């Protein structure tokens, strides 16, 4: 069993990270790989909540650019995160992991409402808490939801699992082979340099509440366990002011 550095963590999984090698949708092999890693983390005694994005199914900003009302488009995106959370819940339970799913918008047939104290109690009992529908508000990204929930739930670190990108770069490494990777970075520098790590609201929340962020490639086997164990992977974003 690996040693753990972080007792309670919040993992943000981008919707794109669920596509595997595809351009959209959910790749079941990728889903199973993530579920197995999360089981390892649970077996290590770590309490873990998971916020899931929905960009593999729907992107509100893209729909808005096509003429759709932004608030309506964002609500549709929230439903996309619910689909992803349900799929991940199924994969986790197939691995024998006890889960609870909570949604920021009421969907009583498939999820509990998001209630902070109830979520904390689930974590204390060793259950994985899947948090869907972002913050429940339009104009707010799931990155912001992840930062907010991590702070609310008392997580020691926010893990940002990306799709085929192994950290934070000064340019898009998928388009620019000369892009430079940062091993360590302050949240303030990430904001000042306008690096596309997460939206500025999420970064400010983490910085003001002294929450470190680890950005890493979710597709590399074992990376979730390595991040929880405190191994130097991806990019560490320090909240130092």
Ordered by start, the domain boundaries in the chain are 8-238
Cα–Cα nearest to 196, from 235, 146, 233, 239: 235
pLDDT value at position 143? 94
Side-chain-facing half-sphere of 184: CA atoms under 13 Å: 5
Cα–Cα nearest to 17, from 52, 49, 63, 41: 52
Examine the pLDDT at 26 and tell me if it is beyond 90. Answer: yes
Examine the pLDDT at 184 and tell me if it is beyond 60. Answer: yes
Query: Which residues does residue 216 pair with via DSSP β-bridges, in sequence order?
Result: 161
18-22, 107-111, 165-169, 219-223 — which one is most confidently predicted on average? 107-111
184-195 mean pLDDT: 88
Share of the chain above pLDDT 90, in %: 69
Examine the pLDDT at 147 and tell me if it is beyond 50. Answer: yes
Judged by DSSP in three states, 134 sits in coil
State how far the Cα of 204 lies from the Cα of 132, in Å rounded to an integer. Answer: 22
Instruction: Concatenate the DSSP letters of all residues of 49-91 into one string.
Output: EEEE--TTT--HHHHHHTT--HHHHHHHHHHHHHHHHHHHHHH
pLDDT value at position 113? 97
The band of 46, judged by pLDDT with boundaries at 50, 70 and 90, is very high
Query: Which residues does residue 103 pair with via DSSP β-bridges, in sequence order?
Result: 113, 132
**Which ranges constitute the DSSP H helices of the chain?**
28-43, 60-65, 70-94, 116-124, 142-152, 187-192, 200-208, 223-229
In which residue are the tokens 């739930």 written?
153
Examine the pLDDT at 3 and tell me if it is beyond 70. Answer: no
Examine the pLDDT at 2 and tell me if it is beyond 60. Answer: no
Q: Token pair for residue 179?
A: 């892009």
CATH of segment(s) 8-238? 3.40.1160.10
pLDDT value at position 166? 85
50-68 mean pLDDT: 88
pLDDT value at position 106? 94
pLDDT value at position 1? 42
pTM over 0.85: yes
State how far the Cα of 54 lies from the Cα of 229, in Å rounded to an integer. Answer: 27
Query: Which residues does residue 87 pair with via DSSP β-bridges, in sequence order?
Result: none
The band of 192, judged by pLDDT with boundaries at 50, 70 and 90, is confident
């Amino acid at each position: 069993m690996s040693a753990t550095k972080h007792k309670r963590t919040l993992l943000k999984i981008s919707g794109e990270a669920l596509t595997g090698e595809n351009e959209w949708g959910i790749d079941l092999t990728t889903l199973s790989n993530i579920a197995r890693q999360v089981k390892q983390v649970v077996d290590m005694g770590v309490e873990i909540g998971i916020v899931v994005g929905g960009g593999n199914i729907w992107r509100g900003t893209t729909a808005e650019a096509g003429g759709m009302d932004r608030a309506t488009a964002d609500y549709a995106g929230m439903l996309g995160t619910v689909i992803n959370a349900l799929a991940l819940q199924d994969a986790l339970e197939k691995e024998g992991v006890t889960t609870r799913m909570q949604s920021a918008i009421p969907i009583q047939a498939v999820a509990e409402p998001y209630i902070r104290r109830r979520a904390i109690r689930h974590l204390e009992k060793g259950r994985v808490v899947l948090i869907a529908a972002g913050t429940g508000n339009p104009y707010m990204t799931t990155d912001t939801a992840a930062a907010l929930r991590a702070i609310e739930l008392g997580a020691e670190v926010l893990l940002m699992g990306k799709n085929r990108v192994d950290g934070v770069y000064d340019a898009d490494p998928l388009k620019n082979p000369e892009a430079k990777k940062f091993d360590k970075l302050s949240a303030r520098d990430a904001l000042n340099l306008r690096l596309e790590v997460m939206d500025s609201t999420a970064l400010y929340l983490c910085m003001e509440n002294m929450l470190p962020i680890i950005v890493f490639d979710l597709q590399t086997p074992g990376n979730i366990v390595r991040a929880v164990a405190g191994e130097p992977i991806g990019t560490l974003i320090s909240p130092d002011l």
